[in-house]
Amino acid sequence: MDLSRDAALAADVTDPLAGFRARFTGTDDDGPDRLLYLDGNSLGRLPRETPAAVARVVEQEWGTGLVGSWRDWVEQSRRIGDELAAGVLGARPGEVLISDTTSVDLYKLLVAAVDARPGRDVLICCADDFPTDRYIVAGVADSRGLTVREVEAHIDTGLDLAVLARALDERVAVVVLSQVAYRSGALVDVAEVTRLAREAGALVVWDLSHGAGAVPADLTAAGADLAVGCTYKHLNGGPGAPAFLYVRRELQEQLRQPIWGWFGQHDQFAMGPAYEPAEGVDRFAVGTPPVLAMAAVEVGVRLTAEARIERIAAKAQALTGLVIELADAWLAEHGVTVASPRDAARRGAHVSLAHPAAWQLTQALIERGVVPDFRTPDRLRLGPAPLYTRFVDVWDAMDRLRTVLSDRSYESHPVERSRVT
């Protein structure tokens, strides 16, 4: 493989997604000292269309339309959900809702799923999954008198499906798993896990947060039951943007979520004395949706759908593949090892590099104009978002990392990480 900078530039020339970069802020500078943003898997860049979209809601719909704008706003969660379903998640109309936060959505769907499997007393989650997921599983188990069965996963290569299969039995009610491991980027086969769980009589709640907008989910084809995910990473909805939930159409009338809010009521404006859940996916709504924030989410969803998820995923594999090739060629002699799956089909849209001084390297890179992030215990995580990251950006970022390792300038940074990472 040609690892020259010229080869990276040539890859950018033929990149079918190249035109999307200009549609994000902060991408105009092409100078040698430009900021190289490789943390799109934590917070996506700001689309240029977003400020105007939010301003339109503020100035026209709120400022002029006032309460009359609720005629449109009341349908916003489902409308954007349908756009996300069709353009990104491979789901059907009426199966996706923009709602609450990922944590709240996970709680709602997990409790609903547990109640749909009476007589079963075990919840399964992954021991290396994102903390919120594990905490919510533990909390639900504690409140319901259930047992949590944590399956082990390799910190770098992810979950072995044979291990999961051995953990599944007639006691398991629900399995909670992430499609993409937050630390390593290891990818799990949604269809195969769904099949294994269904054979055992269990439901699966998927967390798509680290894959949505960068990795195909194909929820309908996979037969997925339930899913949640955030919109501020690869979907570029902005910090704290509302999350989404997915409920397979055939399950919707069987499930009742635990937070009985008025937006999930059958006839919310009747203001009736008793709660009666709405039909379809609307029954998983709770309270008044964050209208301003959802305007930003809609821009990100439409950009992603326009780019097409299969093209985004292909570029993600190529960008992360370049990270791995350069790490092997340049960084191995400095003690850096690849801590993510090498098989592109087993990898999401980010790569982790292991080094004993990963925290110091992270700080040194930020000082040099490269934005990665750090994950315990000793992982430098690089997330080159396909919609706005070029191959030459990856090349230049890895070159700066090579320099930081060669001149050992990272050693001047504190060994201990701060509370804010």
Active site residues: 130, 207, 232-233, 381
φ, ψ dihedrals at 302, nearest 5°: -65, -40
d(CA 376, CA 286): 35
Name the 3-class secondary structure at 187. strand
- Of 256, 265, 224, the C-alpha closest to 96 is 224
In the numeric block, which tokens belong to residue 353?
Answer: 């590099």
- 8 A C-beta contact, residue 160 and residue 186: no
- 8 A C-beta contact, residue 341 and residue 323: no
Sheet containing 147-151: which strands, arranged edge to edge? 96-98, 244-247, 226-229, 203-207, 172-178, 122-126, 147-151
Query: For strand 226-229 and strand 36-37, is the pairing parallel, antiparallel, or unpaired?
Result: unpaired
Q: How far is CA 356 from CA 334, 335, 338, 376, 383, in A?
A: 11, 8, 13, 11, 20
Name the 3-class secondary structure at 288. coil
Task: Tell me how far apart the terminal alpha carbons of the chain are, to the nearest angstrom.
Answer: 34
d(CA 392, CA 92): 37
d(CA 175, CA 200): 11
**Burial grade of 415 (CB within 10 A; 0-12, 13-18, 19 or more):** exposed
Report which secondary-structure segment, H or E, holds 197: helix 190-199
In sequence order, the β-bridge partners of residue 204 are: 175
d(CA 228, CA 96): 9
Neighbour tally for 281: CB within 10 Å: 25
In sign, the C-alpha dihedral spanning 374, 375, 380, 385 is negative
Preceding omega of 377 cis (within 30 degrees of 0): yes
